[in-house]
Amino acid sequence: MALEESLSKLKEGLSASTKLIGLSDRGWAKIEIEGEDSEILHEIVSRKLIRAQTDLDQIDAQGTYSGIVNGIGANLEVDIGLERPAPWNVSISLRALRAQLCDGKLLSGMEIGEYYCIHPGEMLTVRLTRIDQGVGKIEGWLADSQIDLFSELIDSRLERVQVYSCTRRRLAFAVRKAKLERDVISVESNTLVTHSVVCKLGTNAVGLIPKLGAVLRKSELKPFLPRRILERCRPW
């Protein structure tokens, strides 16, 4: 299991143990950490993996949190793990997305999602701007750190293939099976099942998708194309 493999690596050299004790109602893993170095491991896990924010009372109204994209359309919905008082998402309006990612251009949510590879399962970092318990809504923007990450990826000019619903081990096998080692710089993991295949300069990400897809038949593959973003969205 991908989670158990990741936890095993994170606790190497520490006097601590981990145990998966179940899943939350929203599908987040519940992990029990014990041992002499449990506090250290707890901090490492919180930094390396996404930590669910389950209780609204513990959330900073202007705080910054990481979560998983639930969907994008009229709004971008991001699940940060909230369960109490209700399973609310952080909602980022289309207007906010256009302001941050498109210089105000009237692109649809689907177009923005396609250009920036903001799809269900992707990890994003958001900054809360408003909590309205009366109507059960949390509003936000993309966090500065998320904008900085997009800027870094676009400035590199390197195309990427975003891979969803796939373990890192399976993806590494697919790269070897498709004989793409010469076309790929590295594989970067965003979550346990979402990854970026970083193409070498001059390699076309769209051209790699059918080759990887022939092996990863159950995974969704999307191209991240810096040039397309610069042409259709905004300069970076």
CB 75 within 8 A of CB 109: yes
**143-152 pLDDT per residue, tens:** 999 999 999 9
**103-150 pLDDT per residue, tens:** 999 999 999 999 999 999 999 999 999 999 989 999 999 999 999 999
Phi, then psi, of 159 in degrees rounded to 5: -75, 155
Dihedral of CA atoms 104, 109, 111, 112 in degrees, nearest 10, equals 60
**187-233 pLDDT per residue, tens:** 999 999 999 999 999 999 999 999 999 999 989 999 999 999 999 99
Structure tokens at 196: 């970026």
Structure tokens at 51: 């930590």
C-alpha–C-alpha distance, residues 35 and 196, integer Å = 34
Residue 87 clears pLDDT 80, i.e. is over it: yes
Report domain extents, the chain: 2-48, 56-143, 156-232
**23-54 pLDDT per residue, tens:** 788 888 888 888 888 888 888 877 777 888 99
156-232 topology per CATH: Alpha-Beta Plaits (3.30.70)
C-alpha–C-alpha distance, residues 151 and 198, integer Å = 15
The pLDDT of 61-79, averaged and rounded, is 95
Structure tokens at 163: 């891979």
| Res. 16 pLDDT band, cuts 50 70 90 | confident
For residues 45-55, one letter each, b for 16 or more C-beta atoms within 10 angstroms of the residue's C-beta and e for the rest, the string is beeebbbbbbe
User: For 56-143, which CATH superfamily applies?
Assistant: Nucleic acid-binding proteins (2.40.50.140)
C-alpha–C-alpha distance, residues 5 and 154, integer Å = 31
- pLDDT for 1: 60
